[in-house]
Structure 1
Amino acid sequence: MFKQILSKRAYSKAVGFQPKLDYTALSNHASAITQNMKARNHVTVDMTEFVRLNEKRLSLYNQLTALRSKRNEVSLATQAATSKEARSVFIAEGQQIKAQVKRVQEDLSETEEGLLERGLRIPNETHGDSPVGSESQARVVKIVGTPRKEEGLKDHVEIAQGLNILDLEQAAVASGSSFYYLQGMGAFLEMALVQYAMHKAASRGFMGVMTPDIVRTQLAYGCGFQPKRGESSQIYGISEDQCLAGTAEIPLAGKFATRLLNEEELPQKLVGFGHAFRTEAGGRGLTTKGLYRVHQFSKVELFAVTTHAQSEDMMAQILKLQEDIFTDLGLCFRILDMPTEELGASAYRKFDMEAWMPGRGTWGEISSTSNCTDYQSRRLSIRYRPKYQTGDQHTRFCHTLNGTAMAVPRMIIAILETFQRKDGSVEIPRVLQKWLPGEPSHLFV
């Protein structure tokens, strides 16, 4: 259902617009693109073949232009012919040209479809400061707080079961493995985390949005959510052209698809709440216990649309907001500049935040932020009109950025394990307490 190969016609029909890829610019940078794909360990396109197809496209376009010009000349000659015999000759020539035009148009359309299919699989450029290599090459930018490492600390599953706030067994009966019920104070904790993150983002100028959980499959493709070669899809397909959103980033991006904004309207900042659905195909392993890797979870997502000049500053704003959220919660966490092999197709640069999870005795990802430059906007036709246009300057593609404000299950793990007490209770961070019922200390007992 979730096809890797898309035709130009199918893509346009599904989302109502045509991705705007610059085939000649991509061809001119074929060598750099190949090196970038190798650095990302994600070689998905034979750029030699891509260059050949683009040369063929340009040749066919020139042929078509010449044929159309010739057809116009023959049409004028036909009208000017003074004898029946001469007119018949021109009509026959015109019919031959018409047949040639049709053949060249069909060849051109097929060639452009081949270029589009390949072009959509080319990942974004990579920031020059991003580390090269696998996850082990991630650069630690900052560590906030001190890891809690005393003996006898419990993991979140043992803590949650002792407090009766988590039911994994019946969730497996109701929905399958890797689903869960949060109950009692666990349910209120989720709502508190969502409220806190939404309010915190709103205080920084982000407009709140409740997003749909079902999106067009091609919108997910346009955002860069494509499985790597040899891997199963991470997306739940529900119909021929719809799927469950893997993150609110997708419907938030869809809110701007096909839009032409004025430069004065930018940047636009949104904070969206939605549910994330992940098949986690190929992702099962040592990190799957309890809430760490699940198929459905609540998530608060930050999303911004900017001009080219605004995107670097916007990434710094999102990072600062995320850092403040986790600092105010009292967590120990670190910020990582992620290496090339950990960048999704859309990310130009990406930073992850990992919390220290004492019960697991290791760091666990709780957030990330990415600058996608114009990768998504070219595929979703998100453009802006510059305030001052000079010469032949036309509309430009926007830059898009995204970041996680709150991934609820991972945050619950960090809170339960960080603030656990020897008597089995857990002290809840002060910034969450106003959204929880009970005593001021808000201990789970």
Structure 2
Amino acid sequence: MIDLRLLREDPEAVRASQRLRGDSVDAVDDLLRADESRRSAVASFEALRGEQKQLGKLMPKATGDEKAALLARTKDLAAEVKAAEAAVNEAEQVLRAAQFAIANVVQDGAPGGGEDDYVVLREVGERPVFDNPRDHLALGELLGAIDTERGAKVSGARFYYMTGVGALLQLGLLQMGLWQSVEAGFTPMIPPVLVKPESMEGTGFLGSHAAEVYHLPADDLYLVGTSEVPLAAYHKDEILNLGDGPLRYAGWSSCFRREAGSYGKDTRGIIRVHQFDKVEMFSYCDPADAAEEHLRLLAWEEEMLGKLELAYRVIDVAAGDLGSSAARKFDCEAWLPTQNRYMEVTSTSNCTTFQARRLNTRFRDADGKTQTVATLNGTLATTRMLVALLEQHQQPDGSVRVPKALQPFVGGRDVLEPAKAGS
């Protein structure tokens, strides 16, 4: 949630952010009123509690009519304090709801608009050209690497099996990403993929993205769509030591998404599926360093794509497509020869203090004062990268060249050959 001090000092900045996102500006005024109501309720409660304490000091010395009057006032005051406390609780609930209705304040420089209003920052690598390219599913079936037919038979649409060299490719890709993160100083983690509601809510995934999330009502637990969620909640209600710089974690997990609202989109193959694996970078840092840390995460993503020898571009995502937690987001999109378009393969977001404020994660500054920490995340390796890898590195006979950096992680294979008929 946003910083109430920013709201009070510069409400127009919050309104401007709402306009960039295409969200309600009236929500800012609602929050201002809720904040004022809570502060007024707290002031009334504290004044009554102060009077109550003062009466407590006078009572032992009082006698006769004075004591009777004090007793009567004490009785009335107890009821007033109880009512005032209830008013504070109610005002706090209204304030919380109003805060949750407003997304993070967009960082200066982010483009305004919706999904199609991104800005291309750069294109990297030469896009391969083929006479008659096969798409990733056709290649995966030739290689005996992807089986969507049996995935649908067993689990339904948008499920699949990674088989043979496909399983090796996915595991190899993720291991390569994880080792890159370790070499960069990240702590590797395999987090839980089921989380409590407060963890999911704290990271901003129960707002506009709630329809995307799988919920287990019997246990009141949620399946995560990214390990960003358990990594963000890892230090919930803690005060961190950032004396040596950012705390960085790399989480390897399976991820689950309902893909609600994506009917008819990317239904072929493994582009948009319900389950996939991912290595996610996550950083806790001083808010003053967050913009610079964001560029570091992007650089590590680009390093990974360079190792995979993929042609890609980097885009600055428009405000209306950021999601509620992000103040700025950069996507890397790999080229798909068969669709003549770019496809998102990594995303990195600067969430500033938005998530940490909800999760009560703080750090001590140079003066020893506790401050809210900034959180950032970024994809380092994911199943979807295999789509671009297969298509960009295919050869006329249906075989696929393995990038040199990936070869040690797939048993030294330099080329993946089509599987023999019947195998």
Deviates more, 1:121-130 or 1:185-194: 121-130
Rounded Cα–Cα distance in structure 2 between residues aligned with 1:328 and 1:129? 30
* CA RMSD in angstroms, aligned pairs only: 1.9
Q: 2:299 aligns with which of 312, 320, 327?
A: 320
Q: 2:352 aligns with which of 349, 373, 378?
A: 373
Which amino acid is 2:403 matched to? P
**Deviation per residue, 1:213-239 (Å, 9 max, x gap):** 1111221111111342xx761110113
Q: Match for residue 268 of structure 1?
A: 247
Rounded Cα–Cα distance in structure 2 between residues aligned with 1:196 and 1:112? 47
User: Are 2:21 and 1:32 aligned?
Assistant: no
Rounded Cα–Cα distance in structure 2 between residues aligned with 1:227 and 1:267? 28
Q: Match for residue 403 of structure 1?
A: 378
User: Are 2:157 and 1:170 aligned?
Assistant: no
**Deviation per residue, 1:240-281 (Å, 9 max, x gap):** 531001101111112221111123143111111001110010
Residues 274 and 344 (structure 1), Cα distance of their counterparts in 2 relative to 1, 3 Å cut: same
User: Are 2:404 and 1:424 aligned?
Assistant: no
Question: Any conservation in 1 of the 2:399–2:416 contact (CA below 8 Å)?
Answer: no
Rounded Cα–Cα distance in structure 1 between residues aligned with 2:362 and 2:222? 25
- What secondary structure does 1:199 align onto? helix
Q: Match for residue 113 of structure 2?
A: 133
Q: 1:122 aligns with which of 98, 102, 122?
A: 102
Q: 1:356 aligns with which of 306, 331, 335?
A: 335
Rounded Cα–Cα distance in structure 1 between residues aligned with 2:44 and 2:258? 48
Rounded Cα–Cα distance in structure 2 between residues aligned with 1:81 and 1:435? 84
- Cα distance, 1:290 vs structure 2: 1.1
Question: TM-score normalized by structure 1?
Answer: 0.89
User: Are 2:376 and 1:412 aligned?
Assistant: no
Q: Match for residue 9 of structure 1?
A: none
Which amino acid is 1:130 matched to? A
Instruction: Calculate percent identity across the aligned residue pairs.
Output: 32
Which amino acid is 1:212 matched to? P
Residues 300 and 444 (structure 1), Cα distance of their counterparts in 2 relative to 1, 3 Å cut: farther
**Deviation per residue, 1:278-330 (Å, 9 max, x gap):** 00100223323210100010001001111123222211211111111101111
- Cα distance, 1:386 vs structure 2: 1.6
Show the 5 A alignment for 1:45-444.
46-83=27-64, 85-228=65-208, 233-239=211-217, 241-389=220-368, 394-408=369-383, 410-437=384-411, 439-444=413-418
Rounded Cα–Cα distance in structure 1 between residues aligned with 2:413 and 2:70? 94
Which amino acid is 1:60 matched to? A
- What secondary structure does 2:41 align onto? helix
Deviates more, 1:398-407 or 1:60-69: 60-69
Deviates more, 1:364-373 or 1:55-64: 55-64
Question: Any conservation in 1 of the 2:312–2:333 contact (CA below 8 Å)?
Answer: yes
Question: Any conservation in 1 of the 2:27–2:102 contact (CA below 8 Å)?
Answer: no
Alignment coverage as a number of residue pairs:
418
Deviates more, 1:32-41 or 1:108-117: 32-41
**Deviation per residue, 1:181-204 (Å, 9 max, x gap):** 010111111111011101111111
**Deviation per residue, 1:1-29 (Å, 9 max, x gap):** xxxxxxxxxxxxxxxxxx8x654543444
Which amino acid is 1:109 matched to? N
Residues 210 and 439 (structure 1), Cα distance of their counterparts in 2 relative to 1, 3 Å cut: closer
Question: Any conservation in 2 of the 1:436–1:442 contact (CA below 8 Å)?
Answer: no
Q: Match for residue 5 of structure 1?
A: none
Rounded Cα–Cα distance in structure 1 between residues aligned with 2:412 and 2:186? 31
- What secondary structure does 1:309 align onto? helix
**Deviation per residue, 1:394-440 (Å, 9 max, x gap):** 201111110000121x2111011111111111111111111224755
Residues 132 and 22 (structure 1), Cα distance of their counterparts in 2 relative to 1, 3 Å cut: closer
Residues 372 and 167 (structure 1), Cα distance of their counterparts in 2 relative to 1, 3 Å cut: same
Rounded Cα–Cα distance in structure 1 between residues aligned with 2:35 and 2:234? 32
Residues 59 and 362 (structure 1), Cα distance of their counterparts in 2 relative to 1, 3 Å cut: same
- What secondary structure does 1:233 align onto? helix
Question: Any conservation in 2 of the 1:217–1:237 contact (CA below 8 Å)?
Answer: no
Question: TM-score normalized by structure 2?
Answer: 0.94
Q: Tell me, which stretches of 5 or more residues in structure 2 are unaligned?
A: none
Rounded Cα–Cα distance in structure 2 between residues aligned with 1:180 and 1:272? 23
Which amino acid is 2:385 matched to? M
Which amino acid is 1:431 matched to? A
Residues 76 and 207 (structure 1), Cα distance of their counterparts in 2 relative to 1, 3 Å cut: closer
Residues 342 and 216 (structure 1), Cα distance of their counterparts in 2 relative to 1, 3 Å cut: same
Which amino acid is 2:375 matched to? T
